[in-house]
Amino acid sequence: MKIFEFDIKNRNPQDPYLIPAVIYGHQIKESISCAINKRDFVKLVKTNTRNIIVNCQLENGQSYPTLIQEVQKNILSLEPTHVDFFAIDLQKPITITIPIHLQGQSVGVKNSGILVHHIHELTLTGKPENLPAFVNLDIQSLEIGQHLSLRDLSLSSDVTSSVNMELPIVSIQEPHIEIAPEKTETVAETTKEAPATPAAPAK
Protein backbone atom coordinates (compact mmCIF):
# COMPACT_ATOMS: atom_id res chain seq x y z
CA MET A 1 0.00 0.00 0.00
CA LYS A 2 1.22 3.48 -0.84
CA ILE A 3 1.84 6.04 1.89
CA PHE A 4 0.57 9.59 1.31
CA GLU A 5 1.46 12.58 3.44
CA PHE A 6 -1.60 14.58 4.44
CA ASP A 7 -1.79 17.80 6.44
CA ILE A 8 -4.23 17.77 9.35
CA LYS A 9 -5.60 21.08 10.64
CA ASN A 10 -7.17 22.23 13.87
CA ARG A 11 -10.93 22.46 13.67
CA ASN A 12 -12.29 25.80 12.51
CA PRO A 13 -16.07 25.94 11.90
CA GLN A 14 -15.63 29.27 10.12
CA ASP A 15 -13.46 27.78 7.36
CA PRO A 16 -15.75 26.47 4.56
CA TYR A 17 -12.90 24.46 3.00
CA LEU A 18 -12.36 22.32 6.10
CA ILE A 19 -14.41 19.30 7.15
CA PRO A 20 -14.26 17.69 10.61
CA ALA A 21 -12.24 14.52 11.13
CA VAL A 22 -11.09 12.31 13.97
CA ILE A 23 -8.00 10.13 14.48
CA TYR A 24 -7.98 7.12 16.82
CA GLY A 25 -6.28 3.77 17.14
CA HIS A 26 -2.65 2.73 17.67
CA GLN A 27 -0.78 4.80 20.29
CA ILE A 28 -3.70 7.23 20.69
CA LYS A 29 -5.26 7.18 24.16
CA GLU A 30 -7.99 9.70 23.37
CA SER A 31 -9.31 10.33 19.89
CA ILE A 32 -7.93 13.46 18.22
CA SER A 33 -10.53 15.90 16.88
CA CYS A 34 -9.18 17.70 13.83
CA ALA A 35 -10.07 18.89 10.33
CA ILE A 36 -8.95 18.28 6.76
CA ASN A 37 -9.11 20.21 3.50
CA LYS A 38 -12.15 18.84 1.68
CA ARG A 39 -10.80 19.49 -1.82
CA ASP A 40 -7.45 17.83 -1.09
CA PHE A 41 -9.14 14.80 0.48
CA VAL A 42 -11.55 14.27 -2.42
CA LYS A 43 -8.64 14.50 -4.88
CA LEU A 44 -6.60 12.02 -2.84
CA VAL A 45 -9.35 9.40 -2.81
CA LYS A 46 -10.37 9.87 -6.45
CA THR A 47 -6.80 9.66 -7.72
CA ASN A 48 -6.09 6.53 -5.70
CA THR A 49 -8.50 4.40 -3.69
CA ARG A 50 -9.44 4.17 -0.05
CA ASN A 51 -6.89 1.35 0.30
CA ILE A 52 -3.98 3.66 1.02
CA ILE A 53 -1.98 4.67 4.07
CA VAL A 54 -2.54 8.31 4.98
CA ASN A 55 0.26 9.67 7.13
CA CYS A 56 -1.60 12.35 9.07
CA GLN A 57 0.66 15.30 9.82
CA LEU A 58 -0.70 17.36 12.73
CA GLU A 59 0.05 21.03 13.24
CA ASN A 60 1.86 20.21 16.52
CA GLY A 61 4.42 18.13 14.62
CA GLN A 62 3.04 14.69 15.47
CA SER A 63 2.23 12.24 12.71
CA TYR A 64 0.24 9.02 12.56
CA PRO A 65 0.08 6.44 9.75
CA THR A 66 -3.62 5.73 9.28
CA LEU A 67 -6.25 3.99 7.19
CA ILE A 68 -9.42 5.71 6.03
CA GLN A 69 -11.89 3.96 8.30
CA GLU A 70 -15.15 5.75 7.47
CA VAL A 71 -16.33 8.63 5.31
CA GLN A 72 -19.68 10.27 6.02
CA LYS A 73 -21.25 12.03 3.05
CA ASN A 74 -24.00 14.51 2.33
CA ILE A 75 -26.97 12.49 1.08
CA LEU A 76 -27.65 14.96 -1.73
CA SER A 77 -24.26 16.21 -2.92
CA LEU A 78 -22.31 13.08 -1.83
CA GLU A 79 -19.51 15.35 -0.67
CA PRO A 80 -17.64 14.19 2.46
CA THR A 81 -18.83 15.75 5.70
CA HIS A 82 -16.72 13.81 8.22
CA VAL A 83 -13.76 11.40 8.04
CA ASP A 84 -12.51 8.80 10.52
CA PHE A 85 -8.80 7.90 10.37
CA PHE A 86 -7.65 4.71 12.11
CA ALA A 87 -4.01 4.82 13.26
CA ILE A 88 -2.04 1.61 12.60
CA ASP A 89 1.30 0.01 13.43
CA LEU A 90 3.22 -0.37 10.17
CA GLN A 91 5.08 -3.36 11.59
CA LYS A 92 1.96 -5.41 12.41
CA PRO A 93 -0.40 -7.22 10.00
CA ILE A 94 -3.75 -5.69 9.15
CA THR A 95 -6.73 -7.00 7.20
CA ILE A 96 -8.23 -5.09 4.26
CA THR A 97 -10.60 -5.81 1.37
CA ILE A 98 -9.30 -5.00 -2.11
CA PRO A 99 -11.09 -4.91 -5.49
CA ILE A 100 -10.30 -7.35 -8.30
CA HIS A 101 -10.00 -5.63 -11.70
CA LEU A 102 -10.44 -7.64 -14.89
CA GLN A 103 -8.16 -6.60 -17.74
CA GLY A 104 -8.63 -7.16 -21.46
CA GLN A 105 -11.35 -8.82 -23.51
CA SER A 106 -11.32 -12.60 -23.52
CA VAL A 107 -11.20 -14.78 -26.61
CA GLY A 108 -14.38 -16.46 -25.42
CA VAL A 109 -16.32 -13.20 -25.30
CA LYS A 110 -15.13 -12.35 -28.82
CA ASN A 111 -16.61 -15.70 -29.87
CA SER A 112 -20.01 -14.81 -28.39
CA GLY A 113 -19.36 -16.35 -24.96
CA ILE A 114 -20.86 -14.79 -21.83
CA LEU A 115 -18.52 -13.39 -19.17
CA VAL A 116 -19.59 -14.03 -15.58
CA HIS A 117 -17.70 -12.12 -12.87
CA HIS A 118 -18.21 -14.23 -9.71
CA ILE A 119 -15.92 -12.49 -7.18
CA HIS A 120 -15.34 -8.73 -7.24
CA GLU A 121 -13.14 -8.29 -4.16
CA LEU A 122 -10.81 -10.21 -1.85
CA THR A 123 -9.92 -9.90 1.82
CA LEU A 124 -6.18 -10.06 2.55
CA THR A 125 -4.04 -9.98 5.68
CA GLY A 126 -0.43 -8.81 5.87
CA LYS A 127 1.84 -5.96 6.81
CA PRO A 128 0.65 -2.66 5.27
CA GLU A 129 3.72 -2.34 3.07
CA ASN A 130 2.98 -5.73 1.45
CA LEU A 131 -0.75 -5.25 0.84
CA PRO A 132 -1.85 -4.07 -2.63
CA ALA A 133 -4.54 -1.42 -3.06
CA PHE A 134 -6.12 -3.62 -5.76
CA VAL A 135 -5.19 -6.59 -7.92
CA ASN A 136 -5.43 -7.02 -11.70
CA LEU A 137 -6.40 -10.22 -13.52
CA ASP A 138 -5.65 -10.65 -17.24
CA ILE A 139 -8.53 -12.52 -18.92
CA GLN A 140 -7.57 -12.12 -22.60
CA SER A 141 -6.70 -15.78 -23.17
CA LEU A 142 -9.84 -17.11 -21.47
CA GLU A 143 -11.98 -19.22 -23.82
CA ILE A 144 -15.54 -20.50 -23.65
CA GLY A 145 -15.87 -23.12 -20.90
CA GLN A 146 -12.78 -21.90 -19.01
CA HIS A 147 -12.43 -19.97 -15.76
CA LEU A 148 -9.82 -18.28 -13.57
CA SER A 149 -9.75 -18.77 -9.81
CA LEU A 150 -8.32 -16.81 -6.88
CA ARG A 151 -5.21 -18.95 -7.17
CA ASP A 152 -4.49 -17.31 -10.53
CA LEU A 153 -4.01 -13.89 -8.92
CA SER A 154 -0.50 -12.51 -8.65
CA LEU A 155 -0.21 -12.05 -4.89
CA SER A 156 2.83 -11.62 -2.71
CA SER A 157 3.82 -14.59 -0.56
CA ASP A 158 3.79 -12.15 2.37
CA VAL A 159 -0.01 -11.82 2.32
CA THR A 160 -2.63 -14.41 3.21
CA SER A 161 -6.37 -14.89 2.80
CA SER A 162 -8.85 -17.10 4.62
CA VAL A 163 -10.89 -17.52 1.43
CA ASN A 164 -10.80 -20.77 -0.56
CA MET A 165 -8.33 -19.95 -3.35
CA GLU A 166 -9.98 -22.45 -5.70
CA LEU A 167 -13.12 -20.32 -5.96
CA PRO A 168 -13.67 -19.00 -9.52
CA ILE A 169 -13.30 -15.27 -10.08
CA VAL A 170 -14.47 -15.17 -13.67
CA SER A 171 -15.75 -17.70 -16.20
CA ILE A 172 -16.82 -17.69 -19.83
CA GLN A 173 -20.05 -19.55 -20.41
CA GLU A 174 -21.68 -20.89 -23.54
CA PRO A 175 -23.93 -18.36 -25.26
CA HIS A 176 -27.62 -18.80 -24.60
CA ILE A 177 -29.39 -19.80 -27.78
CA GLU A 178 -33.08 -19.18 -27.66
CA ILE A 179 -35.18 -21.45 -29.88
CA ALA A 180 -38.26 -19.75 -31.19
CA PRO A 181 -41.40 -21.78 -30.57
CA GLU A 182 -42.84 -23.48 -33.66
CA LYS A 183 -45.83 -21.78 -35.14
CA THR A 184 -48.95 -23.91 -34.99
CA GLU A 185 -51.13 -23.42 -37.98
CA THR A 186 -54.81 -23.35 -37.11
CA VAL A 187 -56.88 -25.05 -39.75
CA ALA A 188 -60.19 -23.34 -39.94
CA GLU A 189 -63.00 -25.77 -40.25
CA THR A 190 -65.48 -24.80 -42.90
CA THR A 191 -69.08 -25.78 -42.38
CA LYS A 192 -70.96 -26.60 -45.55
CA GLU A 193 -74.65 -25.80 -45.63
CA ALA A 194 -76.82 -28.82 -45.95
CA PRO A 195 -78.93 -28.79 -49.13
CA ALA A 196 -82.39 -27.42 -48.55
CA THR A 197 -85.13 -30.02 -48.28
CA PRO A 198 -87.63 -29.58 -51.12
CA ALA A 199 -91.11 -28.59 -49.98
CA ALA A 200 -93.79 -31.25 -50.15
CA PRO A 201 -96.20 -30.85 -53.14
CA ALA A 202 -99.52 -29.25 -52.30
CA LYS A 203 -102.52 -31.61 -52.22
The per-residue pLDDT string of the chain (203 residues; one tens digit each, 9 = 90 and over) reads 888 999 999 998 888 899 999 999 999 999 999 999 999 999 998 888 788 999 999 999 999 999 999 999 999 999 999 999 999 999 999 999 999 999 999 999 999 999 999 999 999 999 998 999 899 999 999 999 999 999 999 998 899 999 999 999 999 999 876 666 666 555 555 445 555 555 555 55
In a domain, 203, yes or no: no
Question: Is-above-0.85 flag for pTM?
Answer: no
The residue ranges of DSSP E strands in 93-181, in sequence order, are 94-103, 114-117, 121-126, 135-138, 147-149, 168-173
Residue 53 in any domain: the answer is yes
Residues 70 and 110 in one domain: no
pLDDT of residue 48: 82
Domain count, the chain: 2
Assigned domain for 138 exists:
yes
Same domain membership, residue 57 and residue 109? no
Shared-domain flag, residues 114 and 146: yes
Range of the domain at 102: 94-173
Angle CA(117)–CA(135)–CA(26) in degrees, nearest 5? 120
Kindly state whether residue 183 falls inside one of the protein's structural domains: no
62 and 39 assigned to the same domain: yes
Residue 63 lies in a domain: yes
Looking at residue 178, its pLDDT comes to 63
pLDDT of residue 196: 55
Task: Report if residue 198 sits inside a domain.
Answer: no
d(CA 93, CA 130): 9
pLDDT of residue 179: 63
Alpha-carbon torsion 121, 135, 39, 127, what sign? positive
- Enumerate the β-bridge partners of residue 114: 173
